[in-house]
Amino acid sequence: MYRICCFMLAVLLVAGCSKKKGDDPASADGYYLRFKADGVQREYKQTTTAHIYYDADNLTYHCNLAATLTFAGTTKDLMTLFLVNKTAFTTGVTYRLSNGIDMEETGAVMPQVMISLLDPQGKPYTAQFLPVTGLQFDDKAEVRFSEITDKYVKGTFSGLAFGVLPERKEMKIEEGSFYLSIF
């Protein structure tokens, strides 16, 4: 159920909140999210957005970074990075999935970074499970901001995401970078 909610949020963010290339003067070079998935270069430029907000109920800051290959690509070629933190996001800090963040309202512990990816065939991959003693979860995700302004964010990311249970096919995400408009 959690995976479905993550993908639904990603679809809503990308489809309803994105800016087109000409909407902002800062977009002269074009917004993008680039990465290698199992060694294959991917670049999503058509629909991109970053949403940063404060969740007063959980006393946490959230950042959702999303991009698709095409506007119609909300069922395939979609990447979303979800971040949560107790303090405002800053440059020069590496945010990691393995860092658990306590949510005040629910008492849950959330990973600091999660990845949701729909590959070109529409197969879902996620990096979302915190390390648990006695269970073999190798999910990894890291995000590092190099610039955060009121108009855009830039940075890098990487991860190790997995397909759905029970197979949990591995997807290595490397050399990720983003330049996304703030919504």
Share of the chain above pLDDT 90, in %: 66
DSSP alpha helices (H): ranges in the chain? 2-17
Whether 8 has a pLDDT exceeding 90, the answer reads no
Residue 113, Cβ density class (10 Å: 0-12 exposed, 13-18 middle, ≥19 buried): buried
Pair 48, 21: CB distance under 8 Å:
no
Residue 56, Cβ density class (10 Å: 0-12 exposed, 13-18 middle, ≥19 buried): exposed
* pTM of full prediction above 0.75: yes
Task: Compute the mean pLDDT over every residue in the chain, rounded to the nearest whole number.
Answer: 84
Q: Give dist(CA 71, CA 60) in Å, integer.
A: 30
Pair 67, 45: CB distance under 8 Å:
yes
